[in-house]
């Protein structure tokens, strides 16, 4: 997805007409009936605004939010050849420096350079961003379930253990496809060293890099309760700021 300068929303939960990314939330009854619904919804809207201010892809991403536990979303296998062709075309059209660096390391090919397979797993939002709005045919890009008995703000008598904003942002990441789905587009940028790709679920150190040389963040490449597509934070690498 393409980065852009921020814009403001006209009030909480209201999305103006825009040629940029729009996330349309639907709040399930478990949230709207919560005594603290207003502050919970406002926090989720704040998380949404972060992404709307960050990405310029002219697509709408409908997401359902509810209370409970866990996350569900949709993903599809896409031909790697069609994916790499669209990625190259998009980079040439936008002339975005990061995208040009990405396609330089991932030229048009019928097979993934990471796994050697002829397909790649993509989320609905990724498909729409790369192939055009509505290409995925998804009525909803996914459902996010938030355990508001553990978050702040949260439901009455919540333990206030975790930040609702951080949890919402983490799960929106997953819906947008910014996670590892074995293999997902993000895995094309997983390296152990300059020019050395990594696609292992062992404890090997792996980094996110657009150009295959500059390490931008360290992946959580171990079985510690987090996802392999998460950024490493437990323990946090020396000199690295916490990342969602």
Q: For the chain, what are the domain ranges?
A: 22-74+140-176, 75-133+179-218
Cβ contact 106:139 at 8 Å = no
**pLDDT, position 115:** 85
Q: What is the model's pLDDT at position 6?
A: 35
Q: Could you tell me where the DSSP H helices lie in the chain?
A: 29-32, 37-52, 80-94, 97-105, 124-131, 164-176
Q: What is the pLDDT of residue 51?
A: 94
What was the pLDDT predicted at 71? 65
| pLDDT for the residue numbered 11 | 33
Sort 108 into a burial class: Cβ within 10 Å, 0-12 / 13-18 / 19+: middle
Residue 106 is given by DSSP the state: S
Q: What is the pLDDT of residue 126?
A: 92
Closest to 25 in 3D by CA, of 58, 60, 72:
60
Considering the entire predicted model, what is its pTM? 0.81
Sequential pLDDT tens for the chain (244 residues): 543 333 333 333 444 445 689 999 999 999 999 999 999 999 999 999 999 999 988 999 999 999 997 766 678 899 999 999 999 999 999 898 988 999 999 999 999 998 899 999 999 999 999 999 899 999 899 999 999 999 999 999 999 999 999 899 988 988 998 876 667 888 899 898 899 988 876 667 888 899 999 888 888 876 666 677 788 877 777 777 766 5
Beta-bridged to residue 76, according to DSSP, are 122
Strand partners, 66: 145
Cα 222 to Cα 185, 199, 206, 216, distances in angstroms: 19, 12, 10, 18
Tell me the C-alpha to C-alpha distance, in Å, between residue 34 and each of 37, 51, 158.
5, 25, 12
Q: Are strands 207-208 and 217-218 parallel, antiparallel or unpaired?
A: antiparallel
User: How many residues comprise the chain?
Assistant: 244
pLDDT (0 to 100) of residue 181? 64
Q: Is the dihedral of CA 166, 168, 171, 176 positive or negative?
A: negative
Q: Which residues pair with 78 in a beta bridge?
A: 120
Tell me what pLDDT residue 182 has: 64
pLDDT at 174: 86
């Amino acid at each position: 997805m393409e980065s852009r300068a921020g814009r403001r929303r006209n009030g909480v939960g209201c999305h103006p007409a825009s040629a940029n990314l729009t996330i349309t939330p639907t709040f399930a009854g478990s949230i709207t009936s919560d005594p603290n619904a207003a502050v919970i919804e406002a926090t989720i809207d704040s998380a949404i605004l972060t992404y709307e201010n960050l990405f310029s892809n002219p697509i709408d991403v409908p997401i359902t939010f509810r209370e409970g536990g866990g996350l569900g979303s949709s993903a599809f296998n896409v031909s790697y050849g069609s994916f790499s062709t669209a990625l190259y075309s998009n980079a040439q059209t936008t002339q975005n420096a990061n995208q040009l660096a990405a396609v330089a390391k991932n030229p048009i090919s019928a097979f993934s350079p990471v796994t050697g397979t002829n397909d790649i797993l993509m989320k609905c939002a990724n498909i729409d961003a790369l192939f055009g709005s509505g290409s995925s045919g998804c009525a909803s890009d996914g459902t996010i379930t938030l355990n508001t008995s553990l978050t702040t703000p949260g439901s009455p008598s919540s333990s206030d253990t975790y930040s609702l904003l951080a949890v919402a942002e983490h799960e929106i990441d997953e819906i947008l496809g910014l996670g590892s789905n074995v293999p997902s587009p993000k895995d094309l940028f997983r390296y152990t060293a300059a020019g050395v790709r990594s696609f292992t679920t062992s404890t090997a150190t792996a980094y996110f890099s657009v150009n295959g040389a500059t390490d931008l963040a360290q992946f959580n490449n171990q079985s510690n309760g987090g996802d392999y597509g998460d950024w490493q934070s437990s323990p946090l690498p020396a000199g690295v700021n916490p990342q969602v």
